[in-house]
A and B are shown apart, each in its own frame.
Chain A
Amino acid sequence: MRYSYYPGCTLKTRAKAYEDTALSTAKALGLSLTEIKEWQCCGALYPLNTDEIFSFFSPVRALLQTRAAGEDKLVTLCAGCYNVFKRTNKAVREDGELRRKINAYLEEDYMGEVDVVHYLEVLKNDVGFGSIAEKVKKRLTGRKLAPYYGCLLLKPRAEMDLDDVENPTIFENFLNALGATAVSYPYKTECCGSYLSMANEEIASAAVGRILNSAYKNGAEAFVVACPLCKYNLEEYQSELLAASKDPQLKLPVFYFTELLAEALAL
Chain B
Amino acid sequence: MKVITEKINYNLLREVEEVSGQKVSACFQCGKCSGGCPVVWSMDVLPHQVLRYAQLGLVDELLHSKTLWICASCQTCDSRCPRNVDIPKVIEALRLIILRNKGGNYLHPNDLPARVRENAPQQGLVSAFRKYAK
Residue positions of A touching B, CB distance < 8 A: 8-10, 13-15, 41, 43-45, 48-51, 78, 80, 151, 155-158, 165, 189-191, 193-203, 206-207, 210, 227-229, 231-232, 236
Q: When the two chains form the complex, which single residue of B20, B116, B130, B132 contacts A50, counting CB atoms closer than 8 Å? A: B20
The CA-CA distance from A197 to B121 in the complex, in Å, is 11
**Contact at B121–A232, with CB atoms within 8 Å?**
yes
Residue B120 at the chain A interface, CB threshold 8 Å = yes
Verify if B74 is at the interface (C-beta below 8 Å from A). Answer: yes
18 pairs across A/B with beta carbons < 8 Å?
A13-B122, A48-B73, A50-B19, A51-B18, A157-B80, A189-B76, A191-B72, A197-B124, A198-B116, A198-B124, A198-B132, A199-B107, A199-B112, A200-B70, A206-B39, A206-B42, A229-B124, A231-B121
- Chain B residue at minimum C-beta to C-beta distance from A190: B38
Q: Which of B1-9, B50-58, B89-97 lines the interface with chain A?
A: B89-97
- Interchain CB contact under 8 A, B89 and A15: no
- In the assembled complex, B88 has its CB within 8 A of some CB on chain A: yes
Residues of B close to A49: CB separation below 8 A: 19-21, 89, 92-93, 96
State A57–B86 Cα separation when bound (angstroms).
23
Shortest Cβ gap from A126 to chain B (Å): 26
B25 adjacent to chain A (CB < 8 Å): no
Report yes or no: B119 in contact with A232, Cβ–Cβ below 8 A.
yes
Q: A50-B21, A156-B86 are in contact. Are A151 and B127 (CB under 8 A)?
A: no
Bound together, the chains give a CA A202 to CA B41 distance in angstroms of: 12
B122 touching A10 by the CB < 8 A rule? Answer: yes
B29 to chain A, nearest CB (A): 21
Q: How far does the alpha carbon of A15 sit from the alpha carbon of B75 in the complex, in Å? A: 24
B48 contacts A by Cβ under 8 Å: no
**What's the Cα separation between A202 and B121 when bound, in Å?**
18
Cα distance A223–B132 when bound, in Å?
Answer: 29
Determine whether the beta carbon of B132 is less than 8 Å from that of A199: yes
The dominant DSSP class at the A interface is loop
Which residues on the B side are within 8 Å of A151 (C-beta)? 72, 74-76
- B62-74 toward A: CB 8 Å interface, digit per residue (1/0)? 0000000110111
B102 within 8 A of A: no
Residues of the B chain whose Cβ atoms lie less than 8 Å from the Cβ of A8: 123
Residue of A156, A227, A228 touching B78 (CB-CB under 8 A): A156
B22 → A minimal CB distance (Å): 9
Say whether, besides A203-B39, A203-B70, A191 and B124 are in contact (CB < 8 Å): no
B113 contacts A by Cβ under 8 Å: yes
Measured between beta carbons, the chain B residues less than 8 angstroms from A199 are 69, 106-107, 111-112, 128, 132
B42 neighbours in A (Cβ, 8 Å):
200, 202-203, 206
Contact of B123 (CB < 8 Å), options: A80, A189, A203, A206: A80
CB distance from B36 to the nearest CB of A (A): 9
The residue from B41, B78, B123 contacting A229, defined by CB atoms under 8 A apart: B123
Going nearest first, the 3 A-B pairs with the smallest beta carbon separation are A198-B128, A191-B74, A44-B126
Smallest beta-carbon distance B132→chain A, Å: 6
A155/B131 in contact, CB under 8 A: no
Docked CA distance A58–B116 (Å): 25
